[in-house]
Amino acid sequence: MKFIPFSEIKHLLPNNCWYKQDIPELPVLYCEGHQYWDAPLDLDEVVNEEHPSEIIPFILVNGNLTVPQIYNEHVDGSTGLVVLGNLKTNNIVVGGQEIYVKGDLDVAEVFWGEHDHGNLVVEGTIRSRLFINTDYGVDDYRFSMRENIEVDFVLNHDLERDVADPTVLFHLIKPEYLYTREDLDDTIYSWQDWLKTTDILRALAQNQSILLDTPNPAYADEAYPYAFPNKDITLDNVMKLAGGTIFNQNHIPDKEEINIEYTEGPMYKRISFFNGDPYSTTVYFQYEDLYAMLVTIEKKKSILPFSKDYTVQTFYKYPSEQGSTWQPMVNTSIAESLTIEWQKLLREYSDMIGIYNKKQKIVTAINFNEIMKRPIVQRLGKRYYESEDSTVFYCGQQWQFRLEDKAAGHAPRITIHNYLGKGADGENQYEYFHYELEQDSDPKSKPYVQIYYQREKGPEADVYLLEVCTRRNMLKAINYFIYLQKYIERVWIKEEVILTEEEIKLREAIDKGNNYLRGILGQR
C-alpha cells in the first residue's frame, strides 16, 4: 500500500471509470494484490502526509478487497474507491465519489449511496440485503431489469415512489437508527429523511451492525397462503391450476383455450387448459434448449364408455434434437428437475392467487371512478391525446387520464408511465400501465378494471393484457394505483400547481373579495 502519481496507474483503470478521464495533481493510494483489512474504511480520512488537508482522489486496489465497513460523511466530495477484483464488506454508506468494482460487489447488510455527487459502477453482480439509493448515481435500468442484481430489498429514490412509506426500513433496520413519523414533519422528500445518518456512521466506525438480527415481522411483506394440500404432482393439484378466476376465466367464453406463459430465470413455464374443463390442464416446462417436461391429464383405459377415471402422466424430451418426441418420465436428473420445478410452480401459483385477491380489493371500479371524477382528472381527461398538456408529472412518474367517449369507442382509462432508467443507447426507458374500465356483453354484468401493459413507446407499440403470472409487474400495477390514489391532488403540470376543487373555490372567493375591495378603493 503506497501513494504513487496518477500517471503510473492510469493504464490500469477501465475506460468507463470516472477517474480514467481525470488528471489529478494529488497522488493515488495504490494497493497491489488481494487486500484483507481489519478496520472500517472511512473515505474521508484517506490522508497523504504531504497533502494533509487535501482530498485524495481515490484508492486503487489491483485485486480483491475485503473490509468490514466502508463509509464517509462529506457527500459533496470524498475519496473514491476502485477495485479491480471483487469487493466484499458488511455495509457501505457513501457519497461524493465513485465506487468502481470490476468484479462482484458483496454487501452483507446495507448499501446506501447518498447525494448526486457520487456514482456506483459494478461490472459483476451486485449483492446486498438492502440497497438504498438517495440520488447517488446508479444504473436504474439495470435495477429495473434485475440484471445481475441479487438484492433482497431495493429502495431506489429514482424508481421506488412512495418515500413516505418506511415499511422496508422498519422491517430491517434497528429502530435506534431510524426516525419515527412523529419525529418528522409532514413533508418527506427522501428515504434519507427516515435515517439517522450520524448514528449510522458512528455504528459503522465502531464496526457494528445496523440491521436487526431478526426482521421485524410487523413490517414484513404480505405472505400469501399456500393454496394446495401438498406439493405432489397429483390430479387434484393439476386441476386446481385451471380453477378459480385469476386468469380472467370469468371474462372468457367456456371451451376457449387459455395459455398462461412466464419465465423464472432460464425456466419457461406454460399452463394450458380449455376454460371450464380442468381435465384439459397441461403444464409445460422448458429449460433453455436443453430439455422440456410435460405434466398432463389422461383418461384411464376402461371398458366403461362413460368412465371419468383420470390419471396424471409426466413426460420429457430434448427440444434441440431433431425429431425428438415425448418420452415417459423415468428416474433421471430430469425427473428430479420436474419435482423441483413443480414445487416452485405451486408456490408461484399460490402467490398469484394472493396477488389477484389484492388486485380485486384495490383496483376496483369504485376506486377507479373515484379518481376519474376528480376535477383535475376531468380537466386533463379531455386532452388525453394532446401529449404533454394532458400529463401529470409527479416524483418520476407520469399520469394520464382518458374520459369515456362511446362514439369513438374509448373506454375510460388511466395510464401510468413508469421510469425504468436509461437504456444502452442512453435514452430514457419507460413501461406503461393502462387501467381501463370494461364491462362484459351481458347487460347484468358489473364493470371491472382491466390492466394492460406496454413496454415500448409509441402508438404502434404492442399492448398486452397484464396477467397475474407476471407477479412483479402486477404488484407494481397495484402499488402504482395506490400511489396515484394517495397523491393525485399533489401534482404539477409544467411547474404550475393544479388545485383541488376546494382550493379552486377558495381562490375564486379570494379573487372575488379582492375585486370587490379594488372596486371600493377605486371609487374612492
Residue 496 has pLDDT above 50, yes or no: no
Burial (CB < 10 A; 0-12, 13-18, 19+), residue 230, is: exposed
- Residue with the bigger pLDDT between 155 and 223: it is 155
- Per residue in 176-205, pLDDT (tens digit) is 999 998 898 767 788 899 999 999 999 999
Measure the CA–CA gap between 470 and 433, rounded to whole angstroms. 13
Measure the CA–CA gap between 296 and 130, rounded to whole angstroms. 41
As a whole-number percent, the residues of the chain with pLDDT over 70 amount to 90
Residue 508 has pLDDT above 60, yes or no: no
Measure the CA–CA gap between 200 and 209, rounded to whole angstroms. 9
As a whole-number percent, the residues of the chain with pLDDT over 90 amount to 64
Q: Which whole-number Å values give the CA distances from 386 to 401, 497, 509, in the listed order? A: 11, 19, 31
Lowest mean pLDDT among 81-85, 221-225, 426-430: 221-225
The whole-number pLDDT of residue 495 equals 37
Residue 346 has pLDDT above 90, yes or no: yes
- Per residue in 31-73, pLDDT (tens digit) is 999 999 999 999 999 988 888 888 999 999 999 999 999 999 9
Distance of CA 308 to the CA centre of its chain: 46
Helix (H/G/I), strand (E/B), else coil: 101: strand
Residue 207 has pLDDT above 90, yes or no: yes
**Nearest-CA neighbor of 449 among 493, 407, 416, 487?**
416
Report the pLDDT averaged over residues 388-415.
85
- Residue with the bigger pLDDT between 148 and 379: it is 148
In terms of C-beta distances under 8 Å and separation of at least 24 residues, what long-range contacts does 209-214 make, across chains too?
A: 209/90, 209/91, 209/109, 209/174, 210/91, 210/109, 210/110, 210/173, 210/174, 210/177, 211/109, 211/110, 211/129, 211/130, 211/172, 211/173, 211/174, 212/172, 212/173, 212/174
The whole-number pLDDT of residue 23 equals 78
Measure the CA–CA gap between 399 and 365, rounded to whole angstroms. 18
For residues 211, 214, 217 and 220, what is the CA-based torsion angle, rounded to 10 degrees?
A: 50
The whole-number pLDDT of residue 524 equals 42
Lowest mean pLDDT among 104-118, 148-162, 469-483: 148-162
**What rounded mean pLDDT belongs to the chain?**
89
Measure the CA–CA gap between 522 and 516, rounded to whole angstroms. 10
Measure the CA–CA gap between 385 and 303, rounded to whole angstroms. 65
Q: How confident is the model at residue 353 (pLDDT cuts 50, 70, 90)?
A: very high
What lies within 8 Å, CB to CB, of 169 at 6+ separation is: 155, 178, 191, 194, 195
Q: What residues does each domain of the chain span? A: 2-206, 235-354, 365-490
The whole-number pLDDT of residue 300 equals 78
Lowest mean pLDDT among 86-90, 94-98, 372-376: 372-376
Measure the CA–CA gap between 404 and 330, rounded to whole angstroms. 57
The secondary structure element, H or E, covering residue 464 is strand 463-465
Residue 494 has pLDDT above 50, yes or no: no
The secondary structure element, H or E, covering residue 132 is strand 126-134
What lies within 8 Å, CB to CB, of 153 at 6+ separation is: 129, 130, 131, 168, 171, 172
**Nearest-CA neighbor of 480 among 437, 448, 429, 432?**
432
End-to-end CA distance of the chain: 84
CB atoms within 10 A of CB 79: 23
Report the pLDDT averaged over residues 316-336.
89
If you average pLDDT over each of 142-151, 152-161, 447-456, which comes out highest?
447-456
- Residue with the bigger pLDDT between 305 and 411: it is 411
**Nearest-CA neighbor of 316 among 346, 296, 345, 344?**
296
Residue 462 and residue 454 in contact, taking contact as beta carbons nearer than 8 Å: yes
Q: How confident is the model at residue 21 (pLDDT cuts 50, 70, 90)?
A: confident
The secondary structure element, H or E, covering residue 280 is strand 277-287
- Residue with the bigger pLDDT between 118 and 387: it is 118
